[in-house]
Structure 1
């Protein structure tokens, strides 16, 4: 006997186990349809007994069975018409309730019309109107109640079964985006988070709730609010939050080990697994920036239906320029890069665009190949992003810095003049300002060459090409920047290496930098050096601390930070202007024109040719001395070339 009891208990337990219920498939539509018909029959029975207890009497036009069959047939017709059986009961929504109302009310209207048509034709009604109305009312209420009960019971079971495994989470924001996110979190299976509150920055709705969850006023610090709700996770869903307030919230979360998440674009949500769609805040999200507004009409006027050539096209800056140029419908984009694999990957990425893409493996140092490209493809617009940019490597390979950064730029600029390119945009760096290393000095020489060539041609009345130089600082996430390096070091468990505790840098995001390059390229009249508003400089050690905290670790405990010393040629800080420079404003608040002392093209060209000769002969000492002669402000730091400084 006990064995039988144990067996029944085991069968019952297995049948209603959490795993069985959670993975129970959706009922077939015919079963839902059958249940709905049964509910309508029950509604008719309830109506009959209720009317029978009152003073009303049914008409004798048809017997009880005939009337019931007509009502049932009509209701079945409208169930089919509005597909009330198509919804998943446990996931019923307001839209499902609305469909039930339409079906039952349409049935009531159809039966009412039938009733009065029969009255006018035969002089007698089929249905008692109060009975018809009560049938409609009870049918709708019972059908809706059935769905609500199933939905609530299923949700209660899920909540109870997952209660101990869920992480409490709070949403910052109370707008429609926040509510959509909350619904997605609640509907997720298997659940990972339990929503315990909303935070309202306007302090307007704090006596109300959303989805039975309280709205909390942001009148105290974030850590205190989350502590009161026993939560350690925060999602910022408010897209209109001021950047300063967001940075304050981020700092508070990082300081108190609160996990901070961001919401992707709604179209990218995976509602079945919303926790996978939520992303942790990244350091790129923490730049205090206002959205850049481009003069699209001017850029479009310059680029639309034109042939655009981009060097360094497979690099982080070059590839983003490619993507942004595509938005302005050029007739053709020529991709120049010497790196085969990255260029191949970019070509695959662009395989579905309708604009003609011409990928060419070429070296900007090879003038003959470049000339064949210019002659055959006749570009109207050139963006020159190809460069060697790693300071320590160029410090040990100065001739290579000259070959690529100086010779490559000279080749392209000379060919742009020869083939009457409309605009030539040279992408430089803040390391060209008061350079302390070979790389920066080589970029400054290239700047001087492009600017002096442009001025010389204007003076000679021979200029058909507008030469524009853009100068900006470090680009977050670009190849070789500290962010990918720090991310790799964190993933490996540390340590993070920085060169000096006081080192600071200006930062921009890749899209931001490229947007400003396009804008400057469109607005330039020739010979200008445009500099960008880089915002506030960032202390690298602070950047390291934030990245460690954003990854969920504690600096110096989980991930160590090591100071390894300044590299050859490295400054504590970068500049955007030389000591002798001034700036002029433009119509774009983030773009200024640097007014530098200009060079005589004839003498500079002779110096550059001599420099190239020393590079070819691999005479490094003479080469660097010549660079310092061309760029007098080039003073080496932490480098073996300091001996050549006066």
Structure 2
């Protein structure tokens, strides 16, 4: 019913405008004659007055049609802008040309001043009624200001800032309890001391603290469309010294400033505080590797796996296969990709990398060209309590997937590893180091033409050396195996960021294991883009190490998150130290002490010189680990991990 009422009102406004335009257009050209003859009606010659009276009504009717074609009866005049002004100018020019041509060639040759003044009056009267509503609203807000509950400091006096200012102060302002921009900050000294819609640009970022105190600011809006992460981080760090809530333009407007309103503003996130300058990669080689290929992502529903699927989908693969044991995550990413890429050949499969038969059936049916292996147990404390499960899923699952890739003609196998594999102090890190050793062993055997010597490890009531699953022939495989190692990713499942958010929402305390603990952080999209880049440049057998930037103290991370929530650390939210968890390090290492580091063409990607080990002895240890894990001999499994991984210090 409301919609019907709105449509009726819209039509009423349009009909009134039509009547107004008809009258004013007719009146405009009468005024032109009147001015032409010294504002005396009696001296207007009949040879001009009669043609005017003959032609004005048809001309007014034609003008109404032209106005309609230009959309002048469909605009919302409360928001009238340059767009409507431009349309009015174009419509007036077109109608005037029609009038000049029609009167001169078909009615009577009128004085030039008749057309000049008539066009001017027509335009001014047409504009006056259309913009009067907006002017009245602006005058009302300026002449009758009300006290706002929230004083806002706006950072950015550019086009984005101006849109936010007008939306806050004029469009949505003017009511008790609303926000109001009272001061503007901009680093461009040319704007200092000048005004935008009556609000002063008081200075650069060094005036932020001063402005907050002087104007009793409660909220700060960062409205700069083009700002680098490092510049934004510096601004946020200054704003965090106040107790104000901080909001910013979302990323979509950072890339393309369009119609911006206060409703588009978003809260500052921890990614904004920790974020580095964006990584700029030339991804032509990634596109060449993925376009038109069948790509399998194991663990495709997880935080890293799902982002891999998102970025792979952009490169138009022939087919993308999501493989995950947890159906809810797989279903979520499936729906997202189907909505965004409706024409993509997308397959979503449920299964475990522990199940050799299931894994082999997937490789046999779909024959993927590239496999990104992201499936893994990654939670350090849980794997300390369940080491057998870590071996089953991480080590044995990786082996079975790598074996199927070799057997069924996969071109490239990319393992997602972790910096916890470096000098591991916990079971999870040690199992990921075993995964890296598996990758190196497969690559060595394939290059040596000895792939037939790789055992077909299965666990279902048959001897592991049996031929229930057909093994490969020597010299038949061509798969390249690589590993990519990086640290923590912001917001990933099981990371501290979601945990801290939950604890802050519950009122605290925020729990830290140690005040000096540090970690390397990277955003998920950033990490995945580097994984794809490293995989595209791999030739086989490498362990790629991603540059994680500067280490971050987890204590600083916790304090930042509390402050971003508008609270004070140790006042509103307590920070509690609970001690290092089993197997946890104070800091993570990127490389083992025995490994060297080689540069690549991309300064953000390095290659670790692999530690040499006996492949046959390693395979024997892996068999023993599998047997012990499936017999759930936890203590024996941990001891066997120590025997297998020489750098394990757990």
Shift of 1:477: 0.7
- Given the alignment of the two structures, is residue 293 of structure 1 paired with residue 280 of structure 2, yes or no? yes
For 1:331 and 1:159, locate their aligned partners in 2 and report how far apart those are by CA, in whole Å.
60
What corresponds to 2:564 in structure 1?
550
- Given the alignment of the two structures, is residue 479 of structure 1 paired with residue 493 of structure 2, yes or no? yes
SS of the residue aligned with 1:351?
helix
CA contact (8 A) 1:75 1:107 kept: no
SS of the residue aligned with 1:220?
helix
- Given the alignment of the two structures, is residue 247 of structure 1 paired with residue 233 of structure 2, yes or no? yes
SS of the residue aligned with 1:531?
strand
After superposition, the Cα gap between the structure-2 partners of 1:112 and 1:348, relative to the gap in structure 1 and judged at 3 Å, is closer
After superposition, the Cα gap between the structure-2 partners of 1:240 and 1:154, relative to the gap in structure 1 and judged at 3 Å, is closer
How well do the aligned residues superpose, as a CA RMSD in angstroms?
2.9
What corresponds to 2:246 in structure 1?
260
Matches within 5 A, 1:313-392: 313-352=300-339, 353=341, 354-392=343-381
1:223 alignment partner, one of 184, 190, 209:
209
After superposition, the Cα gap between the structure-2 partners of 1:609 and 1:557, relative to the gap in structure 1 and judged at 3 Å, is same
1:564 alignment partner, one of 557, 567, 578:
578
Superposed CA offset, 1:247-279 (max 9, x none): 221111111123221212249999999333210
What corresponds to 2:200 in structure 1?
214
After superposition, the Cα gap between the structure-2 partners of 1:603 and 1:213, relative to the gap in structure 1 and judged at 3 Å, is same
- Given the alignment of the two structures, is residue 606 of structure 1 paired with residue 620 of structure 2, yes or no? yes
CA contact (8 A) 1:329 1:355 kept: yes
Out of 514-523 and 297-306, give the one that drifted further.
297-306
After superposition, the Cα gap between the structure-2 partners of 1:247 and 1:63, relative to the gap in structure 1 and judged at 3 Å, is closer
1:172 alignment partner, one of 152, 155, 176:
155
For 1:350 and 1:111, locate their aligned partners in 2 and report how far apart those are by CA, in whole Å.
57
After superposition, the Cα gap between the structure-2 partners of 1:44 and 1:304, relative to the gap in structure 1 and judged at 3 Å, is closer
After superposition, the Cα gap between the structure-2 partners of 1:330 and 1:49, relative to the gap in structure 1 and judged at 3 Å, is closer
After superposition, the Cα gap between the structure-2 partners of 1:267 and 1:561, relative to the gap in structure 1 and judged at 3 Å, is closer
Shift of 1:319: 0.7
Matches within 5 A, 1:235-634: 235-264=221-250, 265-266=252-253, 274-352=261-339, 353=341, 354-460=343-449, 462=475, 464-634=478-648
After superposition, the Cα gap between the structure-2 partners of 1:150 and 1:289, relative to the gap in structure 1 and judged at 3 Å, is same
CA contact (8 A) 1:188 1:273 kept: no
CA contact (8 A) 2:157 2:184 kept: yes
After superposition, the Cα gap between the structure-2 partners of 1:453 and 1:77, relative to the gap in structure 1 and judged at 3 Å, is same
For 2:619 and 2:537, locate their aligned partners in 1 and report how far apart those are by CA, in whole Å.
27
CA contact (8 A) 1:79 1:85 kept: no
Shift of 1:29: 0.4
Out of 551-560 and 266-275, give the one that drifted further.
266-275
CA contact (8 A) 1:184 1:271 kept: no
For 2:618 and 2:366, locate their aligned partners in 1 and report how far apart those are by CA, in whole Å.
30
SS of the residue aligned with 1:61?
helix
Superposed CA offset, 1:570-618 (max 9, x none): 1111111112121101111111011131222111100111111221222
Structure 2: runs of 5 or more not aligned: 1-5, 451-474
Report the TM-score, using the length of structure 1 for normalisation. Answer: 0.87
CA contact (8 A) 2:418 2:429 kept: yes
For 1:216 and 1:566, locate their aligned partners in 2 and report how far apart those are by CA, in whole Å.
48
For 1:113 and 1:618, locate their aligned partners in 2 and report how far apart those are by CA, in whole Å.
97
Shift of 1:563: 1.4
For 1:380 and 1:621, locate their aligned partners in 2 and report how far apart those are by CA, in whole Å.
39
What corresponds to 1:5 in structure 2?
none
For 1:341 and 1:49, locate their aligned partners in 2 and report how far apart those are by CA, in whole Å.
79
CA contact (8 A) 2:193 2:203 kept: no
Shift of 1:99: 2.8
SS of the residue aligned with 1:103?
helix
- Given the alignment of the two structures, is residue 82 of structure 1 paired with residue 67 of structure 2, yes or no? yes
- Given the alignment of the two structures, is residue 111 of structure 1 paired with residue 125 of structure 2, yes or no? no
SS of the residue aligned with 1:234?
strand
What corresponds to 2:134 in structure 1?
151
Structure 1: runs of 5 or more not aligned: 1-21, 637-646
What corresponds to 1:94 in structure 2?
82
Superposed CA offset, 1:105-125 (max 9, x none): 444433333443368xxxx64
CA contact (8 A) 1:474 1:481 kept: yes
Shift of 1:338: 0.8
Shift of 1:241: 2.9
Aligned length: 609
CA contact (8 A) 2:304 2:374 kept: yes
After superposition, the Cα gap between the structure-2 partners of 1:204 and 1:414, relative to the gap in structure 1 and judged at 3 Å, is same
For 2:321 and 2:198, locate their aligned partners in 1 and report how far apart those are by CA, in whole Å.
57
After superposition, the Cα gap between the structure-2 partners of 1:532 and 1:491, relative to the gap in structure 1 and judged at 3 Å, is same
After superposition, the Cα gap between the structure-2 partners of 1:271 and 1:472, relative to the gap in structure 1 and judged at 3 Å, is closer
Superposed CA offset, 1:410-447 (max 9, x none): 11112222222110000111111111111111111111
For 2:449 and 2:73, locate their aligned partners in 1 and report how far apart those are by CA, in whole Å.
82
CA contact (8 A) 2:294 2:320 kept: yes
What corresponds to 1:195 in structure 2?
181
CA contact (8 A) 1:75 1:103 kept: no
Shift of 1:372: 1.4
After superposition, the Cα gap between the structure-2 partners of 1:58 and 1:113, relative to the gap in structure 1 and judged at 3 Å, is farther
Report the TM-score, using the length of structure 2 for normalisation. Answer: 0.86
For 2:21 and 2:218, locate their aligned partners in 1 and report how far apart those are by CA, in whole Å.
44
For 1:154 and 1:240, locate their aligned partners in 2 and report how far apart those are by CA, in whole Å.
32
